[in-house]
Structure 1
């Protein structure tokens, strides 16, 4: 009778638990906070559902109490599973530890309730084994010995690293001096050891601290893993380091195909650039294209290369590592915004430089007048143009200013090398114009540097109210014998001398009438002191 009664009670109890679990499983899930079951610093299970009227927090407290009581009563405990309806009962010895229901399972981590229950049971078995280990004096002493050995190796490695660093720093100056002397471009040494040594010492210091941190991290993880209570912390440190290393390795391996495409695009663009340079050099042969010659060849090659490399950069951009991240996109937008806001004047200067280049407005070596500035063009750049005046000054003019003002070129229409020299005088109507022209031509012939072929010419450019205006135009050779400013000074001096010799007054530029006394200098007064010393000139 008694055995039948026990069997009946067990059947009824099983039916009761089955009905309750079935009701809990089919009950609509409530939005309750989850609770984690941790025993001896080790995570066993995360409860997410209210089961048999108990919230996850209450289930954690009950499971902790049952597990701790079982661990205190016995050492050799078996962890088993018993399935009830859709749930699994985790047993620790003969006692119930906790129940794993379907609503406790994280679908992203486990595929079924059985799999989640087996994982929780395995962790609980590990807790039982570590509890037994913590109660063993022999195992504790072995862990202490392993910790002492690891600490000794750790200290020895730190000492060796410091010793190697000191030895390397002592030999570093000689090594840098020997190898830096070999790196020369012509006779110029590329790297100065005095500036390289601080950089190398800082790099070695950074590497040293990086190795120290890595060794400390590994030592700490090993020591924590030797003791049952701190073992979860050591495992988490080691797992984190492995995760970081795996993440970096995965990122590097994942970036290799994209980098391969970028390298291929680089070499293709380089080959196309070299091919385009050769084609443009052949096209620049005189008689092929009027807009492409030896003057415009170099800027055309630069523009072509720039266009090719910009296109290559646009093609390679999606394959760069990190190009799809928000940080990379934000940085690209920031750089584009900075360029669009700050490069308007730069783009304008570059466009003006292209206009000057392809319209052949200026050429290096020509003598020009740009606004109020006059001199020889020494450099025609993309953004600025440099001219050297006759007084030895070097002026840098923005290209946008040159395109916005009138440019007078004194070298473009001359025969051969050289430039035009012109000056204007106004003489009264009482002086015959033929005499004025002859005197101006004689002054030009006296001036060294003015060419006889083509001959100088005099033009009457205006018949004003009180005087006609005469303009002397001649051609001179650059820097032979003097710059244009000196040449003009000599020409003006000779004009004064010739007019004084023939008794003609120069009243330019504002001639109103003849004065009471003639405004001219007799020849016997040309060298009045202190000009006597310069008489031989």
Structure 2
């Protein structure tokens, strides 16, 4: 029990010592800086305990002395009296307060003398404003100035409202007159009906900005007319001047960097124009195999894009606000968005470049890409559009085209045009010479198939039950829809020719000969509801 009691006593003693030491080391609330304000005017900030008096007590004492001096006399002189390393501020014959070296702000660079002179100057303003507040003539003059300022303020507001109404009445006519001049050919770039709401919103915003500025200036002027509210008016005016000065310094400071950025952009523009001329000369026949009239336009665009990206990277540090955290955060956000979405975009763009420079496809060529067949109408950076014979427009990703076998019906023909082919299978009991002759006859009857080069028939396979015959011909250039019509006419002529010669079109899995041959005699070609065409 005795040991436990001793342990408890020692613990309490240690706790008391720690609290005492913390209280000694911690800053005292009584030593906190206190501002001396007299008649709403800031005179000085006391930061040190002097002669046993804390800053709060020094402020109370100084207020009492200054108020007594102001009540006793009107014309008071404020002077400084040095005492050792401090200064005594006197109002009349009374000591107002003492400025010690510990009262000097440690953050600033002012000395004790400068701090004392500034405090004495503020106290002189207090004396002068007190005398002004006791003068009826000066107060009446201030009231007249405030009333005149209020009248001017209200007149400006009314004038602004009147001017806004006049502008809104004339705005439609002005916009209609100027928007009609903004034309490219016969196309009007801007419609006045869409521009009017935007212009009215801009005028509304400008009106309220002017109202706020006028109110701010009026309030600062009126408050500055009266002694008690003069510090508030001065603070408003000083704040507006500081903002204006900050904006002016920012604009002046941004001019050199902006000039360098504009110079870089002008150089980039000249380099882009120069590269266009060089590439146009290099695209002439015999210079480069990969650069011709087809690849000149995408090569020019890529070169210009590279030049402008390089110019943007060079001019970025000189742009106004490039070093701010907001600009850096925006750059990081844009970079993150590009990184997340660039995988598929870059792949599609690379595929588009491969198709362009390998000249796999050209606009106007008839191709088959996988299971899609049609005429190429547009070869873009990311997608390729083809129009089928049925009038459908298909948009195919370039990456899909590069990963698929592409059959081009227009590339290997002689001259302009495209290849037309079809496959029929006839039994082995029909002579192959007869089949070839009938297929050539059907091609000859089809309007749109060229005689030179002549159509050809190839036996592409000898299957278990029948040989395969492929008719290959060249057609004249035409739209995708007529090509589908051409194939339909060719298939119809093949059936007619085979029926005329009594040859059965059938690809059987052979089990036995039919009792009757499967062909259509001529007298049944136009059975109802079909109608025989009239001869011209």
- Do they superpose with TM above 0.5? yes
Give 1:157's aligned residue.
156
Give 1:447's aligned residue.
446
Query: Structure 1 residues 210 and 511, CA, compared in 2 at 3 Å: closer, same or farther?
Result: farther
Question: 1:424 offset after TM fit, Å?
Answer: 0.9
1:166 matched to 2:159? The reply is no
Between 1:524-533 and 1:102-111, the stretch displaced more is 102-111
Give 1:177's aligned residue.
176
Question: 1:70 offset after TM fit, Å?
Answer: 1.7
Mapped partners of 1:473, 1:514: distance in 2? 30
Question: 1:180 offset after TM fit, Å?
Answer: 2.1
Is contact 2:58–2:97 with CA below 8 Å preserved after alignment? yes
Is contact 1:467–1:511 with CA below 8 Å preserved after alignment? no
Show CA shifts across 1:434-468 (max 9, x none): 11111111111111111111111111111111111
Q: Secondary structure at the match of 1:82?
A: strand
1:508 matched to 2:507? The reply is yes
Mapped partners of 1:535, 1:429: distance in 2? 37
Question: 1:342 offset after TM fit, Å?
Answer: 2.2
Give 1:10's aligned residue.
none
Q: Which runs of 5+ in 2 are unaligned?
A: 1-24
1:532 matched to 2:520? The reply is no
Give 2:130's aligned residue.
131
1:88 matched to 2:87? The reply is yes
Q: Secondary structure at the match of 2:376?
A: strand
Give 1:363's aligned residue.
362
Is contact 1:466–1:512 with CA below 8 Å preserved after alignment? no
Query: Structure 1 residues 78 and 130, CA, compared in 2 at 3 Å: closer, same or farther?
Result: same
Question: 1:514 offset after TM fit, Å?
Answer: 3.0
How large is the RMSD of aligned CA atoms in angstroms? 1.9
Give 2:45's aligned residue.
46
Mapped partners of 2:512, 2:307: distance in 1? 70
Is contact 1:47–1:60 with CA below 8 Å preserved after alignment? yes
Give 1:256's aligned residue.
255
Show CA shifts across 1:74-95 (max 9, x none): 2221111111222111111121
Q: Secondary structure at the match of 1:530?
A: coil
Q: Which runs of 5+ in 1 are unaligned?
A: 1-27
Q: Secondary structure at the match of 1:351?
A: helix
TM-score, length-scaled by structure 1: 0.92
Question: 1:258 offset after TM fit, Å?
Answer: 0.9
The residue correspondences of 1:135-146 to structure 2 (distance < 5 A) are 135-146=134-145
Is contact 1:365–1:376 with CA below 8 Å preserved after alignment? yes
Q: Secondary structure at the match of 1:474?
A: strand
Query: Structure 1 residues 123 and 471, CA, compared in 2 at 3 Å: closer, same or farther?
Result: same
Mapped partners of 1:403, 1:236: distance in 2? 71
Show CA shifts across 1:169-227 (max 9, x none): 22222222222222222122222222222222221121111111111111100100011
Q: Secondary structure at the match of 1:415?
A: coil
1:225 matched to 2:234? The reply is no
Show CA shifts across 1:113-146 (max 9, x none): 1011101100000001101111111111111111
Give 2:392's aligned residue.
393
Mapped partners of 2:481, 2:273: distance in 1? 44
Give 2:189's aligned residue.
190
TM-score, length-scaled by structure 2: 0.92
Query: Structure 1 residues 150 and 442, CA, compared in 2 at 3 Å: closer, same or farther?
Result: same
Mapped partners of 1:413, 1:288: distance in 2? 24
Mapped partners of 1:460, 1:513: distance in 2? 24
Question: 1:264 offset after TM fit, Å?
Answer: 0.5
Mapped partners of 2:238, 2:511: distance in 1? 104
Give 1:63's aligned residue.
62
Is contact 1:427–1:511 with CA below 8 Å preserved after alignment? no
1:520 matched to 2:519? The reply is yes
Show CA shifts across 1:449-506 (max 9, x none): 1111111111111111111111111111122897211111111111111111122111
Q: Secondary structure at the match of 1:408?
A: strand
Question: 1:108 offset after TM fit, Å?
Answer: 4.5
Is contact 1:79–1:121 with CA below 8 Å preserved after alignment? yes
Query: Structure 1 residues 52 and 536, CA, compared in 2 at 3 Å: closer, same or farther?
Result: farther
Query: Structure 1 residues 173 and 221, CA, compared in 2 at 3 Å: closer, same or farther?
Result: same
Between 1:273-282 and 1:54-63, the stretch displaced more is 54-63
